[in-house]
Amino acid sequence: MPNPHPRKKRRTSLRGQSSKQLARALLEEKKTVFVTGAGLSVASGVRPFRGEEDNGLWEEVIWKTATRSSFRKDPLDWYNKFWLPNFRNDNSHKPNEGHLALEKISSLFPKSCQIITQNVDGLHEIPHVVEAHGRVGLYKCIPEEDSDTDSDSDDNEDRPVHLGHRRKSRLIRQRLPEERKENVPNDITISKPRHPKICRFQQLDSIRLDEIEPQHVRQALQMGEKTLSAPPLCPSCARPVPPQALLFDEGYHSHDFYQFERMEKVLEEAEVIVFVGTSFQVQITTVALEHARDHAIPVYNFNTKDVLNSSVRLNVENILGRCHIT
C-alpha cells in the first residue's frame, strides 16, 4: 500500500517561482517574519561565524570564549584577545543590497512585516527591528556571579512559542531600583525583593559608548583602538561591563534589549517565516522552525548552502545564492 503521506523532497530554486510566491504573500499582507543571520552581512565585509570559505570564526574561538564566565576571569584580556580583534566598532561596514531590500519591504508593509536579526553589526537601519543577539557599540552590566537557584518552572509554560524564561525575568525586575519600576509592564506584580537591588543596566537599559568609564577607555573605544589598558566600567556601579551581545551562557530573558517576549508574539502570529543567511545553529532558528512545523507555516530559506529539507511537517522553499543578490 503506498504511503499516503510521502516525504517531500528538498526543493531548491535560484530565484524564480519561490520568490514570486513570497512576493504574493507580502502583497496579500500575510504576517511575514524575516529572520536574518550572518550570511546577509558577508557582502558588507562582516566576518561570519561559520564557513571556511567565508573565513568564519565560530569553530576557532567564539564557542568557548563568548561567555560570562570567560569574561569574568579577565575582562581586559577578554576584550584585547577576543572581542576587539573580531568585533571592532569602527563604522567601516555599510548596509548592502540585501539590507536595503529588506528596508524597502519593511517600509512597504510596516504592519505585516517584522524583522528579527541574529546579527550584532547594526546594519539593519530599520525602525523596530529586533536585534535578538545585541549590537556592537552598546554595553551592559552583569552581576559579579550568577544566581540561578530558583526552580526552572516558568510562567505560562504552555504558550505557543517559548524563547526566554518569563519567571526569571520577572524575579529580576523585582530587584530593580525604585526609580526604574515605572517602566515595568502593568501586568507584572512587584513584591518586596528578597535580594539586594541590582544595577539598572543589568536588565532594562543599555550603556552607550559615551557613558563608558573611565574616560581614557571610552576614548580608546571611540577611536577604534586595537587594545585597551583597562576594561570598560559601568557608569552606575563601576563593574567591568561586557558588550551588549547575547553570550552563550545567557538566555534571551537576560536583558530587555533582546526583546524575547516580542519575538515570541511575532513568531506566534506569523503566517510566513523567511530565513536569510542563517546556518540554523541557534535557539531562535530552532524555535521558529519547530513552530513552523507545528502550525504548517510556509518557510522560505535564502542561503548559499545551508538548505532545509521539506517534509510532511515542513513546507520549505530554498532559494540558493548570495543573500545580497537573491
Catalytic residues: 133
Locus of grid cell 569574561 = 71
Selection from 98, 128, 95 nearest residue 113 by Cα: 128
| Contact (Cβ atoms closer than 8 angstroms) between residue 14 and residue 307 | no
CA distances from 64 to 39, 52, 148, 219, 275 (A): 22, 18, 21, 29, 26
| Contact (Cβ atoms closer than 8 angstroms) between residue 246 and residue 71 | no
Selection from 217, 30, 254 nearest residue 141 by Cα: 254
Report the phi/psi class of residue 293: left, alpha or beta, with left for phi > 0 and alpha for psi in -120 to 50.
Answer: alpha
CA atoms within 13 A on the CB side of 21: 17
Q: C-alpha grid cell for residue 81?
A: 584577545
Selection from 296, 300, 311 nearest residue 12 by Cα: 300
β-partners of residue 300 are 274, 317
Residues 116 and 130: their CA atoms lie apart, in Å, by 5
Q: How many CB atoms sit inside 10 A of residue 203's CB?
A: 20
Q: Pairing state of beta strands 207-208 and 134-139?
A: antiparallel
